[in-house]
Structure 1
Amino acid sequence: MTPILAALQVETLKLRKSKLLWAVLAAFTIAPLMGGFFMFVLKNPEFAKTTGLLGAKAQIAGEATWKAYFSMLAQIIAVGGMLIFGFVASWIFGREYTDRTIKDLLALPYHRGILVIAKFLTVLAATTLLSAYVVAFGIFIGWGIGLAGWSAAVWQKGLFVLSITTLLTISLSTPLAFFASWSRGYLAPLGFMVLMVVFSQIIAAIGYGNYFPWSIPALYSGIAGEEYALKVGNALIVLSTSLAGVVATLVWWLYADQY
């Protein structure tokens, strides 16, 4: 077995044996359930008011269609994924310090770069599977509700937007790995993540969200209420941020004093 496969197997086993995966899976399950409830209320407003699910004077704007539902799922991944994916990356890199297993990990006869790459591949696999679960579960809920407007074009466009949004959001989790390594724990990356979520809202509100990497996935998902054409410059901003996180993490693991 090659070193990278051995390291990847170890990282996958640690993630599978931990309670983190089940915790984030449960947290992410709430999002499509709430989205499905929202669509159900839009589709059956009178029933919702009669049964007390919605106040008699409450008003909810929107339409109960597959197009709107796909857009909602994309927004869930863009905003919720920023938190969930960031937490996964923080845990995979930060747990070695909080559990004090970093010395055991560095004692392995593998290059440190291989260990870092294995961790990033584990983050990529875990976040991709979580996104696929949310999308599949969300589509199942949509079929159960009986949303209108299903067509091959809507399906293709919806899945395309979901895929690009997921890829952009996952890419922005790499800086969290650096902060988890640099701070030797969870608090710094989690604080950075919350700060980026706040900044993404503020910067998007003043009209410069297309220049701020953490605002771009949400804008592309349609959170502003209109379709956003992703430009090459936007993709380069996100890609540069992601690469910076990978390089910074690698440099830290290779050259920083580990104790």
Structure 2
Amino acid sequence: MSAIARALRAEVRKLRASRVAAIAGSLLVVGVVGITSAMTLDIGAAPTLAGEKFAAFAVSDAPSFVAVATQIAAVASLLAFGVCAAWITGREFVDGTIAGLFARPTSRSTIAFAKLIVHVVWCAVVTVLVLTAMVVVMLALGYGWPGLETWGAIGRLGTALLITALLSSVASLVATLSRGYLAPIGVIIALVAASQVAVVLGAGDWFAFSSPTLWAMFGADGASIAGLVVAATTGLLLCAATVAAWRRLRLVAAA
């Protein structure tokens, strides 16, 4: 068995035993369809300021369901994916198992690469579950089978979530540099806020962490293909930086 195969098998076992990954994935899937389904209620009819605000997000058909779900998923996915990436990498330092990895014949860069592969595959599985749950709930609500335009919007959301999966590797890099998982979670939260600021300032198309969301929501009117390429490239560079950081890891003697 090759070194990468051994590393992948070990990381898959760790992920399967992880409550963090299960909870993060479940919250994303349930949260997206649950909150979107709640928007089918006639909240906008309430004579309150909150009712007027919620009216803008009212769901009454398949296109509006996907539009609202996209807004929720695009933001929540960076949090869910980032938390999982932080745990996959940071747990080795927090649990003290990093020392044992130095004794293994598999190189640390190979282990890091395996962690990133397992994380991205996990994100892809969660993405499929989110999209599938959306379609199932739309059918259950009586909106009928999605049309071509709606399928296009679902496809854009799927692509945005996969790019976000790559971008969430920033949590793996920060977890490696900080040797824990608290700092990367803080960075992810800061990036979510920065993405909102970038959109308000009109720079969302070229800010890697916001362009996938804009493209998912508005297509070419929200973000360009060049912006998506920048985002995907940034994600790949973050992955490469994480592998390089693991290659340079050194054991630090306890005081």
Residues 55-66 of structure 1: pairs in structure 2 closer than 5 A: 55=46, 57=48, 58-59=51-52, 60-61=55-56, 62-66=58-62
CA 1:156–1:204 in 2, change beyond 3 Å: closer, same or farther? same
Residues 96-130 of structure 1: CA distance to partner in whole angstroms, max 9, x if unpaired?
00010011122111122211111001101111111
Q: What TM-score, normalized to structure 1?
A: 0.87
8 Å CA contact 1:73, 1:162 repeated in 2? no
User: Which letter maps to 1:232?
Assistant: I
8 Å CA contact 1:200, 1:209 repeated in 2? yes
Residues 41-94 of structure 1: CA distance to partner in whole angstroms, max 9, x if unpaired?
2xxx3xx79xxxx74553413451211222223222210001000111111000
Structure 1: give runs of 5+ residues left out of the alignment.
none
8 Å CA contact 1:87, 1:190 repeated in 2? yes
User: Which letter maps to 1:156?
Assistant: W
CA distance in 2, matches of 1:101, 1:199: 33
Deviation at 1:200, TM superposition (A): 0.6
8 Å CA contact 1:203, 1:209 repeated in 2? yes
Structure 2: give runs of 5+ residues left out of the alignment.
none
8 Å CA contact 2:156, 2:219 repeated in 1? no
Q: Does residue 99 of structure 2 align to residue 103 of structure 1?
A: yes
Relative contact order (alpha carbons < 8 A, sep ≥ 6): 1 or 2 greater?
1
CA 1:128–1:217 in 2, change beyond 3 Å: closer, same or farther? same
Corresponding position of 2:235? 242
CA 1:32–1:185 in 2, change beyond 3 Å: closer, same or farther? same
Deviation at 1:156, TM superposition (A): 2.9
CA 1:10–1:99 in 2, change beyond 3 Å: closer, same or farther? same
Q: Does residue 173 of structure 2 align to residue 178 of structure 1?
A: yes
CA distance in 1, matches of 2:9, 2:77: 25
8 Å CA contact 1:33, 1:141 repeated in 2? no
Corresponding position of 1:162? 157
Corresponding position of 1:2? 2
CA distance in 1, matches of 2:185, 2:140: 36
8 Å CA contact 1:175, 1:244 repeated in 2? no
Q: What TM-score, normalized to structure 2?
A: 0.88
Q: Does residue 196 of structure 2 align to residue 195 of structure 1?
A: no
User: Which letter maps to 1:33?
Assistant: G
Corresponding position of 1:253? 246
RMSD across aligned positions (CA): 2.1
User: Mean alpha-carbon deviation: is it higher for 247-256 or for 174-183?
Assistant: 247-256
8 Å CA contact 2:169, 2:238 repeated in 1? yes
CA distance in 2, matches of 1:230, 1:107: 47
Question: What is the total number of aligned residue pairs between the two structures?
Answer: 246
CA distance in 1, matches of 2:119, 2:32: 21
Deviation at 1:151, TM superposition (A): 4.5
